[in-house]
Structure 1
Amino acid sequence: MSTTQQATVTTTTTTTTKPYFDPSYLRTVPGILKCLQLVLNAICFICCVARWSGIGGGRIDFYFFCCIVGFIVTLILLILYLFHVVGYFYKLPWYLIEFIYCAVWTLFYLSASIAMADLAGKFSNTFRRYYSALAAAAFFGFLAMIAYGVDAFFKFRAWRNGEKPQIIAQQTSTRTTATVESPH
């Protein structure tokens, strides 16, 4: 009496078809930069409260615009990456789009921070209560400019190398089936 054993290994690959939350993105360099940009935009906005005092006019309005729009767009991008939505629109040149956004915001923060530093210099002797807020706005604006500039550099390099920002996750499952046949 002999028995024959046969083992079958089946590998199934399925593609996830809906967005999923992936907090590991926050530990990557792009994720850390986006979080840093959000924090700096929020701090810049807080420093911009001096806007309501009626000083500075358009310069403070432009700085305020940089803070608010930068915060909103960066938050949207962070959410898109956290939920792997970017992978579903793989035909869009994400790195080129983000490079342009980060480069423009680098220039915006450069000019807005220079304007805040100039205003701080004008109010340094006459209105000390404005000086601190304007100097802090200039300082944190320059930090935001650096954060967006570093991000623009990484996005440009990734775009030139032809990298894809995210790939839709694939789940691989392995199923082993053992079949035992015995002749009669």
Structure 2
Amino acid sequence: MAYPNQPAPPPPQTMGSSNTVFITETRFDLSYLTTPSGIIKAVILVFNIIGFICIMSSAFRSNGRGVYFCILVVFAFFFTGAILILYLYHAVEKYHNVKWLKIEMIAYTTFVFLYLIAATIAVAFGSAAYSAAGFFAYLTMVLYGIDAFLKVRALKDGQLAQGHRTVTKQVHMVTPPALP
């Protein structure tokens, strides 16, 4: 029997907690190469090698444009390769306190602008080898931009660079007080 002045029972309350699991031992795992960021990094490495070969096979490789292009490509190749190796060996997960997503986002955004400059001056030179290198530099620039966008989205969503977070929810029922 309900009383007219009796308040409605409160709705069930849900309380959630999250538990982040990190495996702190290094191990080799190729599964990162199946993720979008892993595929992008692998393709970027290939495009960097192709662009470097195009410039170095040109008769004008000692030109200032070619030197800038090669310095950028070699630096980007080693940076991206090092980050890829860190992901493959789960060192990113081991050192989870480092802001890996932010580091990658800043580096890849910087590479986008540097590759825009390198590709433009290579294509403007007019040599066929420089034009081919510029084409691959533009493709690399787009891939770095996509990866930077993925990192921004991951940062906004609060995702981890590597590892997984398990979220558990518990439902607590509040029972109304006993009636007199």
So what's the TM-score if we normalise by structure 2?
A: 0.75
Distance 1:79 1:165, change over 3 A: same
So what's the TM-score if we normalise by structure 1?
A: 0.73
Matches within 5 A, 1:42-53: 42-50=49-57, 53=60
The answer on whether the counterparts of 1:84 and 1:168 sit within 8 Å (CA) in structure 2 is: no
**Aligned AA (2:44):** Q
**Aligned AA (2:146):** V
Distance 1:119 1:22, change over 3 A: same
Matches within 5 A, 1:26-37: 26-37=33-44
How far apart in 2 are the matches of 1:54 and 1:141? 16
* Structure 1 SS opposite 2:31: helix
Runs ≥4 in structure 1, deviation > 6 angstroms? Answer: none
1:133 has 2:129 as partner: yes
* Structure 1 SS opposite 2:141: helix
1:165 has 2:161 as partner: yes
Q: What whole-Å deviation, never above 9, does each CA across 1:68-119 have from its counterpart, x for those lacking one? A: 0111011100000001100122111111100001001111110000000110
* Structure 1 residues not aligned, in runs of 5+: 1-13, 121-130, 170-184
* Structure 2 residues not aligned, in runs of 5+: 1-20, 166-180
Across the aligned residues of Structure 1 and Structure 2, the Cα RMSD in angstroms comes to 2.0
* Structure 1 SS opposite 2:104: helix
1:109 has 2:105 as partner: no
Of residues 79, 88, 94, the one that matches 1:73 is 79
Counterpart of 2:171 in structure 1 is none
Counterpart of 2:5 in structure 1 is none
The answer on whether the counterparts of 1:56 and 1:119 sit within 8 Å (CA) in structure 2 is: no
**Aligned AA (1:91):** N
Matches within 5 A, 1:51-70: 53=60, 56-57=63-64, 59-70=65-76
Distance 1:105 1:138, change over 3 A: same
Larger helix proportion of the pair: 1
The answer on whether the counterparts of 2:22 and 2:93 sit within 8 Å (CA) in structure 1 is: no
